[in-house]
Structure 1
Amino acid sequence: MLTAERHARIVEMVRLRGTVTVPELAAALETSESTIRRDLDKLDQAHQLVKVHGGATTRESAHLTRDLTLGERHGLHDEEKRAVCTRAASLVQPDDFVYLDAGSTTEILLDLLPPTRAGYVTDSVSHAIRLAARGLSVMVLGGELKSATEALVGPGALDALARLHFTLGFWGSNGITPEAGLTTPEPNEAMVKRESMARATRRYVLADASKLGRTSLVTFADFCDATIVTCGDVPEEYRSFDNVTEVSL
């Protein structure tokens, strides 16, 4: 079996099962476990899956227990995210004071925002740089820089938020369920999300449908605390909620 064919079959097995062990892959592909481990290293580096102890898992599953880097999230449901962000950009009015959460979905929103006099505040250093490069008015929170998501967290960020009041805000979420609410893997980032959301009048969570029905480690808001703008394979039960807005590709 050619390497490219073996890699494709590994990715497909992980996609179908969610998590697969090295012995399972070696048996299915009739190759050695050492070969499978080398394959997983290459596929992880290519951001096609996430290598874990003893096997591999999908990026969506890994994203529930840790924040993937922006590079690891590149290409993950980008079409759905762009559709969601196109709707979000249309909500910004000229006089809005807007909070923008860190993350790969809000990163797509940056290029879609209208060139108005609206002001922006973000906990993301990279978001702030890109907004400033577009000539938009932007403030960045203080705090400790979290490398994986390029977000600012900790007392400095919370102190800055305590003095601000937003007319509009956009957040990402790793998991969304009616029971657990809006969830994320990291407690310090959850605190910033919670505080910023509490200070916004109009609140929108931007999430492709893969986040629905999944629960991450820390709840930062209740399910009904924000309007959820989503796109993709939306589970039928979520379509009945008044605060869920589904957009098409």
Structure 2
Amino acid sequence: MIMLDRWTKILEHVKKNKFSTVQELMDTFNISMSTVRRDLVAMDERNLIKRTRGGAKAIYGKSLNDSVTSSMLIKNKEEKIKIAQKAATLINDNDFIFIDSGTTCYYIIDFIVAKNITVVTNGIMQIQKLMEKGIETYILGGYARPESNLIVGEDMEKKVSIMNFNVAFLGTLGIDSCGGFKAHALFDANFKKTVLKASEKTYVLADKSKFNVRKFYTYADIPEATVITDSKVNFKDERLKIIYV
């Protein structure tokens, strides 16, 4: 059972019974004590349930969407949707594609009309939406980090390195003419590098707030990908390839 499905079932169960013990959740959903405790901690942090000694009690009026639809998903939403719509038009029937965990990449899924495609992703929310649309989805194994919408695993780079994508869509924390495309952590930068090498074409989805922003880790130099963005930007580097929407 994937994490979001599990959280949904736990939330429904706790609401129905007003209170549930850890043991009850273990038995009901056939999951380990460590998984239940980890889920309850994460759900309590998002104010979905209230942890108590030995279990959890319901907080009424809260839904899973209240938690998952974070401020990052809402920020610059209109711009992100425009960029995502354009990105979806670059997907062809029978393509094998990669969709990153970024929030703009998440919106691509709403606009996919291509048939018989296979999607690989490391985004938790992306998995749920792809499955809802009936899109063939390959889930990279690893640990879930809900706070970052990421799946992180030691062998993910190895798996991706032997894959072949027609097109990959990546997010970025910043685009800097001196350093290129940025990631928030070393493991994410290394993973994105591997995806880029495995893809025939790579597009970085970035609203205007991401330009001229320098972060610590670089995953690609400017010429290595094409940017899709929502408006004209003041970016002084002739090597940058941009598609405007």
TM over 0.5: yes
| SS of residue paired to 2:129 | helix
1 CA distance for matches of 2:90 and 2:135?
A: 16
Preserved contact between residue 120 and residue 139 of structure 1 (Cα < 8 Å): yes
Gaps of 5+ in 2: 1-45, 47-67
Gaps of 5+ in 1: 1-44, 46-68
1:190 aligns with 2:183: no
Q: CA deviation at 1:131?
A: 0.4
Q: Deviations over 1:94-115 (max 9, x none)?
A: 0210000001111111111115
Report the equivalent of 2:137. Answer: 138
The AA in structure 2 aligned to 1:184 is A
Q: CA deviation at 1:163?
A: 2.4
1 CA distance for matches of 2:138 and 2:153?
A: 17
Preserved contact between residue 123 and residue 157 of structure 1 (Cα < 8 Å): no
**Percent pairwise identity:** 25
2 CA distance for matches of 1:236 and 1:121?
A: 31
> TM-score, normalised on structure 2?
0.68
Q: Deviations over 1:122-169 (max 9, x none)?
A: 011221121011011110111232232221223221122122111111
* Aligned 1:1-249 pairs, distance under 5 A: 71-232=70-231, 234-235=233-234, 237=236, 241=239, 243-247=241-245
Report the equivalent of 2:29. Answer: none
The AA in structure 1 aligned to 2:166 is T
The verdict on how the C-alpha distance between 1:242 and 1:176 changes in structure 2, with shifts beyond 3 A counting, is closer
Q: CA deviation at 1:204?
A: 0.3
The verdict on how the C-alpha distance between 1:144 and 1:113 changes in structure 2, with shifts beyond 3 A counting, is same
Q: CA deviation at 1:89?
A: 0.5
The verdict on how the C-alpha distance between 1:148 and 1:246 changes in structure 2, with shifts beyond 3 A counting, is same
Total equivalences in the alignment: 179
The AA in structure 2 aligned to 1:186 is A
The verdict on how the C-alpha distance between 1:116 and 1:229 changes in structure 2, with shifts beyond 3 A counting, is same
Report the equivalent of 1:22. Answer: none
Q: Which contiguous aligned blocks of 4+ residues in structure 1 show a shift greater than 6 angstroms?
A: none
| Highest RCO, 1 vs 2 (Cα 8 Å, sep ≥ 6) | 1
2 CA distance for matches of 1:236 and 1:152?
A: 32
